[in-house]
Chains A and B, each alone.
Chain A
Amino acid sequence: MWRVLYLLGPLLGLLGYLALGQYNLPEGPGKDLVLAKCQACHDLGLVARERLSRERWDAVLQEMVLQGLKVTPEERAAILDYLATYLGTAPPPAPPPPQAQAKTGAQVYANCQGCHGPSGEGNPPLFPPLKGHVAQILGREGGRAYLLAAVLFGLQGEVRIQGQTYNGVMPGFAWLSDEDLALLLNHLVGWEGLPNFPPYTPEEVRAAREKALTPEEVFSLRQRLSLP
């Protein structure tokens, strides 16, 4: 019995490991930093698909610093530990037990803060602010659906926010769960102090997913809001 499992097990494991969903980074210490730092410039898929030795990950980080990655020595060490442990040449340690406390919107926001800043202040001229702008969007008819669509499917097109023009590509985050996306959106809403705003729900996210818009279609949704 065990002998069969010895053969089958690693095979099944290996298959799964290789079929690792494009954006699925294993849970582990340092993952939040990877989410925060790497997505400003590229897909997480580029990270998730690699299986490299610590030495090679170290060289990759060096390359990324050359290309503009800003990290403190402590952050760099934590990212390297994560990558070498969870995306290394050996299988990663077992995932930690599910968290006792419920996940918060602030935790999901780790995906966004690399570009939009820890408190939504943005990083002009590359990445627009969210704080203040989200209130502007939600104040328009269709704003609620647009904000959800932008987070789900991304946005492409030139936008002007608080006097600054932005023309980068906002990637979609459809790979996050309905629950996580609702938490995230409510986190953004929370900054704006809109006491009577009915929170986003996972059901609402699920329904919006069905539409499968392109980033350009999301842009035309935005234009219909006639933002200032």
Chain B
Amino acid sequence: MSFQKEEAMEKLSRRTTLKWMGLGAALLAVSRGQAQQTPTADQLVKGKDAKLIVLSQRPIVLETPYDLLASQPERTSKEILYVRNNVDLPGYNSVEGASLEGWTLEVGGLVNKPFTLEAKELLSLPQHEVTMVLQCSGNGRSFFQPRTSGNPWKRGGVGNVTFRGVRLKDLLESKGVKLGEKALFITAHASRQGNAAEFVRSVPIHALEEALLALFMNGEPLPAVHGGPVRLVFPGYFGVNNVKWVAKIEFTEAENTTAEQMPRYRVPAIPNANIPILPQEPGKTYPYSFTNSRPNWLVAINSFIFAPQEGQTVEGPYVRVEGVAFNDGLVPLTSVEVSTNGGRTWFRATLEGSGRSFGWVRWRATLYLRPGEHEVIARAWDAVGRSQPLDGNIAWNERGYEYNGVMRVRFTVA
């Protein structure tokens, strides 16, 4: 490189450096001054734990801090369960239940007998219970590099909850409703009361098998902020598909065309091809269409390490490593493996329970570790051989959906 060129570059980078410095100093000062002005989670939603991280005030988006999530490994309580509203329903920002009085539900589309139902009638139909993972399809987004757009979730956009309510297929049967041949999708609409913006989402008709009109969560009336008085839940499907405050259910021939269905909440895919995602060059955009992408439907197989936690110091040499794992519930999980040498060798953990499950399954392993620094990673496997990528960035997509790369935890053995 010629001297002149070098000098020019030095000038240029000196200018850039100064620019960055000035900007940084100014912004640090400003953001410190703002800190007290941001409302806390309990101010935004009555009854939520104040420790929840506010990712957005409007619409309300709250993330469960990871240590809090891990402190309730059986079931996630309503106080700490994450919130991801796309549309806020005015007046429904509380963990208390919402009144069924006056709530109506319309069922139509490609059926022989459309009908409208007083939602409180659901209480007199047979009730079913399902424990399932509720997870935002953007959970883990902030691990994608380069940065993708959307709420910067770490791993706290997930919970394990028990819904109770009426199976959609039982309701159809009780009304003597038959589906038309072309009823290929279930399209659910959220209430628009109080002039709320529309929210519509479609899932494949397969989801009818387990679909539940949920009225209760964890044994209590379904919290208003989580979709009470009635939410249409699809066990095994990502959070976005479980339409809160459901007002209308249609059986349709095609997916709906609102932004929540296209281009949002989709990943690149080759239609009918057996690969979870069509890999993209990170940072590039993709021309999403109904035929070159798939919606965030089935929950991707995943596992989380709840103990030890990042940065912790634990007693050795026998170290208990534990966490939870889940898939879409279509087949059982077969194993969770842990490794402390970056994946060179794996140690099989003990799974609590076998068989299919929409809820997460706890696992644990006891490792013999020397004093010093360690990094443990975990990955789940299921009966059709699905597992998690060692490098989650392989699934990079511009909106950052469906991250399921193995989790890494660094800790010290005393």
Minimal beta-carbon separation of A154 from chain B (angstroms): 9
User: How many residues of chain B are within 8 Å of chain A by beta carbon?
Assistant: 47
Q: A residues within 8 A CB of B147?
A: 51
Q: Are B13 and A6 neighbours in the complex by a CB distance under 8 Å?
A: yes
Tell me if B195 counts as interface (CB < 8 A to partner A).
yes
Cβ-neighbour of A68 out of B37, B197, B398 (below 8 A): B197
How far apart are B72's CB and chain A's nearest CB, in angstroms? 27
Instruction: Quote the shortest CB–CB distance from B331 to chain A (angstroms).
Output: 35
Question: How far apart sit A42 and B197, CA to CA, in the bound complex (Å)?
Answer: 12
Q: Give the residue of B25, B30, B43 whose beta carbon is less than 8 angstroms from that of A12.
A: B25
Are A63's CB and B34's CB within 8 A?
A: no
Cβ of B47 within 8 Å of any chain A Cβ, yes or no, is: no
- Do B21 and A43 have beta carbons less than 8 Å apart? no
User: What is the distance, in angstroms, from B11's C-beta to the closest C-beta of chain A?
Assistant: 11
Q: How far is the CB of A61 from chain B (nearest CB, A)?
A: 12
Please name all residues of chain A whose beta carbon is closer than 8 Å to the beta carbon of B27 when the two chains form the complex: 16-17, 19-21, 24
From B24, B33, B146, B195, contact of A14 by CB (8 A): B24
Question: Do A63 and B263 touch across chains, with their CB atoms under 8 A apart?
Answer: yes
A24-B27, A67-B259, A125-B195 known; A43 vs B57 contact (CB < 8 Å): yes
B65 at the interface (CB under 8 A from A): no
Residues of A contacting B20 in the complex (Cβ-Cβ under 8 angstroms): 9-10, 12-14, 17, 91
Q: What distance in Å separates the Cβ of A127 from its nearest Cβ neighbour in chain B?
A: 9
Q: Smallest CB–CB gap between B222 and chain A, Å? A: 21
A167 contacts the other chain (CB 8 A): yes
- The smallest C-beta distance from B378 to any residue of chain A, in angstroms, reads 29
Q: When the two chains form their complex, are residues A21 and B24 in contact, meaning their CB atoms are under 8 A apart?
A: no
Say if the beta carbon of B194 comes within 8 Å of chain A: yes
Is A171 on the interface with B (CB-CB < 8 A)? yes
Chain A, residue nearest B259 (CB): A66
Please tell me which one of the listed residues A6, A8, A66 contacts residue B258 in the complex, with CB atoms under 8 A apart.
A66
Is there contact, CB below 8 Å, between B259 and A63? yes
- A94 proximity list for chain B (CB < 8 A): 19, 22
**Contact between A55 and B285, CB atoms less than 8 A apart:** yes
Q: How large is the interface on A (under 10, 10 to 19, 20 to 34, 35 or more residues)?
A: 35 or more
**CB contact between B17 and one of A5, A15, A19, A95 (< 8 Å): that residue:** A5
Interface string of B176-217 (1 = CB under 8 A from A): 000000000000000000110100000000000000000000
Tell me if B317 is interfacial: C-beta within 8 Å of chain A.
no
Closest B residue by C-beta to A65: B259
In the complex, the answer to whether A22 meets B34 with C-beta atoms within 8 Å is yes
Q: Does B149 contact A (CB under 8 A)?
A: yes
B58 touches A16 (CB 8 A): no
Q: Which residues of A contact B8 (CB under 8 A)?
A: none
The 0/1 profile, CB within 8 Å of B marked 1, for residues 1-44 of chain A is 01001101110111111011111100000000000000001110
Residues of B within 8 A of A53 (CB): 283, 285
B384 contacts partner chain A, Cβ-Cβ < 8 Å: no
Q: Is A147 interfacial (CB 8 A cutoff)? A: no
* Chain B, residue nearest A153 (CB): B39
Q: Is the CB of A24 within 8 A of B31?
A: yes
- B353 in the interface (beta carbon within 8 A): no
Assess whether A20 is in contact with B31, with CB atoms less than 8 Å apart: yes
CA A8 to CA B258, docked complex, whole Å: 46
Q: Are B16 and A59 in contact (CB under 8 A)?
A: no
Residue of B nearest to A26 (CB): B23
Given contacts A9-B20, A51-B147, A63-B263, contact A46 B56 (CB under 8 A): yes
A12-B39 contact given A22-B34, A52-B149, CB 8 Å threshold: no
**B14 at the A/B interface (Cβ < 8 Å)?**
yes
Task: Determine whether A168 belongs to the interface, using a CB cutoff of 8 Å to chain B.
Answer: yes
Please report which residues of chain B, range 68-96, place their CB below 8 angstroms from some CB of chain A when the two chains form the complex: 88, 90-91, 93
Contact B90 A214 (CB under 8 A): no
Instruction: Flag if B152 contacts A21 (CB, 8 Å).
Output: no
Alpha-carbon distance between A44 and B91 when the two chains are bound, in angstroms: 22
Q: Which residues on A sit within 8 Å (CB–CB) of B151?
A: 46
A-B contact pairs, 25 of them (CB 8 A): A6-B13, A8-B21, A9-B21, A12-B25, A13-B22, A16-B26, A17-B20, A19-B27, A20-B31, A22-B31, A22-B34, A23-B34, A45-B56, A46-B151, A51-B147, A53-B285, A59-B398, A63-B263, A66-B258, A67-B197, A94-B22, A156-B90, A158-B91, A169-B88, A171-B57
Chain A residues at the B interface, C-beta cutoff of 8 Å: 2, 5-6, 8-10, 12-17, 19-24, 41-43, 45-46, 49-53, 55-56, 59-60, 63, 66-68, 89, 91-95, 125-126, 156-158, 166-169, 171-172, 174-175, 214
Q: Which residues of B contact A (CB under 8 A)?
A: 10, 13-14, 16-28, 30-31, 33-34, 37-39, 43, 56-59, 88, 90-91, 93, 146-147, 149, 151-152, 194-195, 197, 258-259, 263-264, 283, 285, 398
17 extra interchain contacts, Cβ-Cβ under 8 A, other than A2-B14, A13-B21, A59-B285? A2-B10, A5-B21, A6-B13, A6-B14, A9-B17, A13-B19, A13-B24, A15-B24, A16-B28, A17-B23, A42-B58, A50-B149, A56-B285, A66-B258, A89-B146, A167-B90, A169-B58
